[in-house]
Structure 1
Amino acid sequence: MQIAQCFHTAILVTDLQKAEHFYTDILGLAKIERNLKYPGTWYQIGNFQLHLIEDKTTTTQIQNPEKWGRNPHIAFTVTNLESAKTQLQAHNCPIQPSASGRAALFTKDPDNNIIELTQL
């Protein structure tokens, strides 16, 4: 087997409207068309897709609250980390700088899914 690339990641959210606000309005991701019979939203990010799937019973547990990067997370690159930080702060999103000292920070979506933003 030879894996060519990562195609998508799916994460569970309890409230699709709140999640869409975070991923569309705050992170600025572009929605794509989906024709499935269960509630969800798909986003295209370069050659990669992020799939939000609504499950009202899901709970996301943070295993390491002191270091968010040591939990399951998805990482995106940004062209300007300071601008991304300002955008998150403007929407009162929680932020934790990377413990490694590199140009990266972590935030959480409304369901506690951890998102890493790394400077290109």
Structure 2
Amino acid sequence: MIQFEGLHHVSLAVRDLEKAKFFYSDVLKFRELPRPPFDSKGVWYAVGNQQLHLLEHPVSDTLRERGIDTTDGHFSIWVKSYRETKEWLDRMNVEYVAKPDSIAGFAQIFVLDPDRNIIEFGAEYGS
């Protein structure tokens, strides 16, 4: 039997690494981590105790073209404050779908990165 200890990282394909780095570093303020000198281009970020890895893949059939679909594949980040996260996204002019009273049992905000990868921010109701 596999004994799981937790999720280590999520990897996403991106078409333009510099554009993706601007979004994750400057807009979302993720903290960049050192990355081994792989042959591929990419960047690693700390997200709490987990990591997000972005891998440049200029030609990929796996990248989506549609808008925010909350039932599509995505990753979720738990945040301290729904209100403050929403206010920050407004200040940074990031489009989102907000579900403050989601039947999920917590408040949700869904955004798209520049490559249309879906990111969910979850928080306690009323936070």
Does the TM-score normalized on the shorter chain lie above 0.5? yes
State the distance in 2 between where 1:39 and 1:95 align: 28
State the distance in 2 between where 1:73 and 1:88 align: 18
Correspondent of 1:50 among 31, 40, 52 = 52
TM-score normalised by the chain length of structure 1: 0.87
RMSD: 1.8
3-state SS, counterpart of residue 70 of structure 2: helix
Asked whether the 8 Å contact 1:41–1:51 carries over to 2, the reply is: yes
Match of 2:97 in 1: 96
Q: Which deviates further from its counterpart, 10-19 or 78-87?
A: 78-87
How many residue pairs were aligned? 117
Amino acid across the alignment from 2:118: I
Match of 1:118 in 2: 122
Match of 1:7 in 2: 8
TM-score normalised by the chain length of structure 2: 0.83
- Highest CA radius of gyration, 1 or 2? 2
Q: Which deviates further from its counterpart, 75-84 or 105-114?
A: 75-84
Matched, 1:107 2:124: no
Quote the offset at 1:92 in angstroms.
1.9
State the distance in 2 between where 1:18 and 1:90 align: 19
Asked whether the 8 Å contact 1:68–1:96 carries over to 2, the reply is: no
Runs of 4+ with deviation above 4 angstroms? none
Structure 2, unmatched stretches of 5+, are none
Match of 2:40 in 1: 38
Percent of aligned pairs with the same residue?
Answer: 32
